[in-house]
């Protein structure tokens, strides 16, 4: 592939579970994955590997099942990984953009060939239902393909104003060593997106994955190296939070890409702002930090459209998405009708194991998450009214009921905190303007939704909302690479939108050169 031979980007199509052959293939892949458990995930620094079992990931639906045994990186290994990345940077940044793109696309092909097994591994390690797990693998492939093309485009530079006797050009250089700290809820797509973006433009990466999903991060590093990324340019440091903290603080790191909670994000921004002795650069931070996402339902909304979209946005993957709907702001004239229909839809949701076809709400990721969600559910029951509940099965696993709650006081923490679980709060508002006032008063501004028929209502909400991604008359989750660039405002994060045309700019330094082209004589 050359810079002039790029094919148009197209999203990887998701599997059609209605096909018996597809379902059979997934079951076969699950059996193959289970036969190989537990997966061994070593610390990987350059060509070196060190195995260990300090970090254990288990199946959220069957906590006795060990999915992966990972080593935990030491402080010395953090130092070694950054030093190795600095060496790898010199080699990788010298590779032409078209060749870097070719390596990313080869990594995408590696993932594509193993798609069913990776999907099955997500079902086991993170309890993602089949459709959600497959979509995550597709998104990882999309990021590799999209950023590969973007890197070639960026390598052409930008057109500047030219005048007689002068040549002006703008080029982009890699920042250096990028620390990627990724979450468990999109265990392949999010680390792949952050890592591939940094690599695409010539940086070296040290990846610290979430401790709950080391196996999938290990698969990503294997894919990248198999595609042609030099070992020195991509290292893997499994471990707990102190590994990420050490990476952020390291003076040899030039940029940090993080997706996770607001408290951790704030600490990363604070730590990254410190310029250590001998450090000659400021660290940049790209952070996606979650949300408290509201869906506004206007009085003229089509409830046949709104109800399934709200339920899917709130309860798919047990609400464990930063983009998930957690509040509904419904106009008073239709509030009772919406509550009745939401209750009917939620009470028939299937709360079950992730591998069971037809599961709507799987278990949450771990025991601590279950305890947190149950606490908020109990608080909501005390402060308001439980409108509907889908009960969990009576079996092992970190299951929570799916809840719809209403009549909460305005100061309830259920309305302001990111619960990250299957709890949906419904509030009555006077009208759309009142709903916009509520949204405007929130610290988070990630995603939002609007159901309304009147184009003028759509225009007003679009102009006023502070959220990074507004979805109109559709669900508010499931952003697609290249189609819905994703990222929030306010305390929902910093940086440019993932999967969009500007995202790569966060991982480069701009260089402008102006040359006087008037002849001053010849060198003899």
Catalytic residues: 288, 322
Task: Quote the crossing angle between the two packed helices 115-126 and 20-36, to the nearest 10°.
Answer: 60
Cα 56 from Cα 86, distance rounded (Å): 30
| Residue among 69, 197, 55, 213 at smallest CA distance from 133 | 213
Give the C-alpha distances (Å, rounded to integers) separating 111 from 13, 354, 382. Answer: 14, 21, 47
φ, ψ of residue 253 in degrees (nearest 5): -90, 135
List the Cα angle 325/383/310 in 5-degree steps: 15
Contacts for 274 with CB less than 8 Å, ≥ 6 apart = 249
H or E element, residue 429 = strand 423-429
With contact defined as beta carbons under 8 Å apart, do 265 and 493 qualify?
yes
φ, ψ of residue 70 in degrees (nearest 5): -120, 150
**Which residues on adjacent β-strands are paired with residue 512?**
170
List the Cα angle 485/489/493 in 5-degree steps: 85
Q: How are beta strands 177-181 and 469-472 bridged, if at all?
A: unpaired
Cα 144 from Cα 137, distance rounded (Å): 11
């Amino acid at each position: 592939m050359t810079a002039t031979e790029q094919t148009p980007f197209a999203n990887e199509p998701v599997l059609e579970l209605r096909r018996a052959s597809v379902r059979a293939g997934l079951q076969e892949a699950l059996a193959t994955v289970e036969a190989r458990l537990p997966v061994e995930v070593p610390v990987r620094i350059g060509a070196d590997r060190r195995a260990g079992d300090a970090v254990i990931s288990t199946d959220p639906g069957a906590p006795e099942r060990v999915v992966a045994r990972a080593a935990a990186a030491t402080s010395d290994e953090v130092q070694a990984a950054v030093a190795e990345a600095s060496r790898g940077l010199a080699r990788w940044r010298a590779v032409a953009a078209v060749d870097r793109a070719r390596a990313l696309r080869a990594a995408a092909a590696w993932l594509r060939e193993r798609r069913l097994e990776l999907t099955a591994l997500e079902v086991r390690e993170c309890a993602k239902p089949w459709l959600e797990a497959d979509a995550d693998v597709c998104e990882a492939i999309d990021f590799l393909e999209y950023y590969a093309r973007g890197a070639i485009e960026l390598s052409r530079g930008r057109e500047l104003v030219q005048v007689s006797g002068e040549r002006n050009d703008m080029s982009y250089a890699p920042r250096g060593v990028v620390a990627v700290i990724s979450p468990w809820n999109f265990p392949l797509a999010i680390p792949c997106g952050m890592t591939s973006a940094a690599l695409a433009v010539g940086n070296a990466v040290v990846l610290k994955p979430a401790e709950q999903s080391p196996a999938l991060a290990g698969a990503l590093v294997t894919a990248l190296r198999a595609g042609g990324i030099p070992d020195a340019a991509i290292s893997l440091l499994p471990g707990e939070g102190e590994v990420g903290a050490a990476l952020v603080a390291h003076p040899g790191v030039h940029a940090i890409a993080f997706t996770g909670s607001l408290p951790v994000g704030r600490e990363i921004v604070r730590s990254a702002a410190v310029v250590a002795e001998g450090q000659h650069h400021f660290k940049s931070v790209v952070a996606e930090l979650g949300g408290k996402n509201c869906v506004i339902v206007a009085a003229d909304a089509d409830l046949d459209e709104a109800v399934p979209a709200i339920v899917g946005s709130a309860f798919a993957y047990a609400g464990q998405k930063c983009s998930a709907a957690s509040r509904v702001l419904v106009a008073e004239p239709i509030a009772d009708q919406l509550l009745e229909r939401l209750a009917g839809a939620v009470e028939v949701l299937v709360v079950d194991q992730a591998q069971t076809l037809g599961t709507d709400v799987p278990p949450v990721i771990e025991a601590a998450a279950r305890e947190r969600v149950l606490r908020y559910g109990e608080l909501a029951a005390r402060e308001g009214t439980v409108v509907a509940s889908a009960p969990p099965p009576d079996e092992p696993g970190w299951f929570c009921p799916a809840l719809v709650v209403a009549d909460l006081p305005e100061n309830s923490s259920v309305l302001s905190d990111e619960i990250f679980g299957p709890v949906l709060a419904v509030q009555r508002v006077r009208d759309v303007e009142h709903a916009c006032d509520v949204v405007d008063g929130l610290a988070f501004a990630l995603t939002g939704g609007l159901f309304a028929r009147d184009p003028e209502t759509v225009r007003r909400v679009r102009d006023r909302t502070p959220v990074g991604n507004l979805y109109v008359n559709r669900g508010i989750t499931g952003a697609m690479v290249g189609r819905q660039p994703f990222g929030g405002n306010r305390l929902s994060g910093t940086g440019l939108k993932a999967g969009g045309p500007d995202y790569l700019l966060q991982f480069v330094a701009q260089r402008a050169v102006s040359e006087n082209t008037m002849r001053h004589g010849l060198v003899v």
